[in-house]
Amino acid sequence: MPFLFLVPLLVKGAAIAVGAAGAASAVKGASKMKDANDTIKEAKTRHERNMSRFEMENKSTSQDMDRLGKLELEILHSFSSFSDVFEQIHNRPIFETYSKNGIELPKYDGEKIKEVSVGAGVLLGGIGGAGLGAAGGFAAAGATTAAVMALGTASTGTAIASLSGVAATNATLALLGGGTLAMGGGGIAAGTAVLGVATLGVGLLVGGVIFNLTGGKLSEKADEAWHQMKRAEEKIDKICTYLSDLRSVANNYYMTLSSVNMIYQGHLNRLTHMVAVLGHNDWTSFSKEEKLLTENTVLLVGLLYNMCKVELVLQAENEDEINSINKVAVQDSIFRANKVMADNNFYAV
């Protein structure tokens, strides 16, 4: 066949070959685009699932911490009832430091008991409007400390105890947050971030990592979106583990505190009946059983005061790190409480 006749056939064949290659390239390109879109979609779905897991864990932990914090404040506030009855007892001795089998409790201090009772009452009046985590924040920082601080001075120079409701709670949160903004501290927001709401000790990490990602969007580039999701997932896993551990510690402490409080309330009721109803208010005429009841009630007040003083969360030195759970102090407090109850046969009361 002459060459001139072959040229059209060759050109046609080449065109077919080029067309086939182009079609294959287009198919491959479309496949890559689909893979990229699938990767972005999967990254976003997984990130949303991780965030949902974090939010559920945080809510559960906040609720359990709130339960503990509220109980601690209620116990401290109830000391006013004890103080009212106890002050009616004439010729009572000075109750020295309790020391038995390696367990020591400080001697009874009536002024401290009154102060913490008033402060706890102030905080109880405001936690209802302070939002999820406020009461738990006081437990994290030590409810006894928070109650004493509630008798401090607000930024306006007004005594916090003279404020009411949320105003008093916010003023205390500001102090616990390192002082008001005017004083160079973090103010109410810092107090809340450090102590409660969505944090319970992980505020700066959560605020710096999780909330930033939540407020923004993952990249539209597949590789970057996947890397963003994985980085966030690593942080979320760490925080969820922390929150789960904190919830477990808080619930264990709540059970022990509830047991001691139940025994204390029983003693307080009997002491109140003895003094206010029966009119037995002279220590020198007390029977052996009446003296023992009084001594044991004082002992239980001291024990509960110390238990409510324990900080469940210790602030990290590095602001970028998650705070630590004060497990050693909590376990030691539980051990001491169980030892005091067992040594004094409080289970039988």
DSSP, residue by residue, 286-340: --HHHHHHHHHHHHHHHHHHHHTT--SEE--SSTTSPPEE-HHHHHHHHHHHHHH
Residues 106-126: pLDDT tens digits?
A: 777 888 888 889 888 878 877
Is residue 26 in some structural domain? no
Contacts of 117 by beta carbon, 8 Å cutoff, 6+ apart: 76, 77, 78, 79, 80, 83, 147
Residue 55: Cβ-neighbour burial (10 angstroms; 0-12, 13-18, 19+): middle
> Average pLDDT in the 320-338 region?
89
Confidence band, pLDDT 50/70/90 cuts, at residue 200: very low
Contacts of 151 by beta carbon, 8 Å cutoff, 6+ apart: 115, 118, 119, 122, 159, 160, 161
Handedness of CA 128, 305, 260, 291 (dihedral sign): negative
Helices (H), 87-180: 110-127, 134-141, 143-149, 165-176
Determine the pLDDT at residue 305.
92
Strand partners, 325: 313
| Domain total in the chain | 1
Q: Above 90 in pLDDT, residue 23?
A: no
Residue 153: Cβ-neighbour burial (10 angstroms; 0-12, 13-18, 19+): middle
pTM of the complete model = 0.79
Is residue 33 in some structural domain? no
Q: How far apart are CA 48 and CA 41, in angstroms?
A: 11
Is residue 231 in some structural domain? yes
Q: Looking at per-residue confidence, does 177 or 64 come out higher?
A: 64
Q: Looking at per-residue confidence, does 145 or 328 come out higher?
A: 328
Is residue 30 in some structural domain? no
Question: Which runs of E-coded beta strand occur in the chain?
Answer: 98-100, 103-105, 313-314, 324-325
Size (the chain), residues = 349
Number of H helices, E strands in the chain: 11, 4
Is residue 4 in some structural domain? no
Determine the pLDDT at residue 190.
40
Q: What percent of the chain has pLDDT over 70?
A: 66
Residues 163-176: pLDDT tens digits?
A: 666 566 666 665 55
Domain that holds residue 153: 39-348
Determine the pLDDT at residue 194.
40
Determine the pLDDT at residue 66.
86
Residues 260-310: pLDDT tens digits?
A: 999 999 999 999 999 999 999 999 999 999 999 998 999 899 999 999 999
Is residue 3 in some structural domain? no
Is residue 25 in some structural domain? no
Is residue 5 in some structural domain? no
Report residue 136 CA to chain centroid gap: 5
Q: Looking at per-residue confidence, does 193 or 145 come out higher?
A: 145
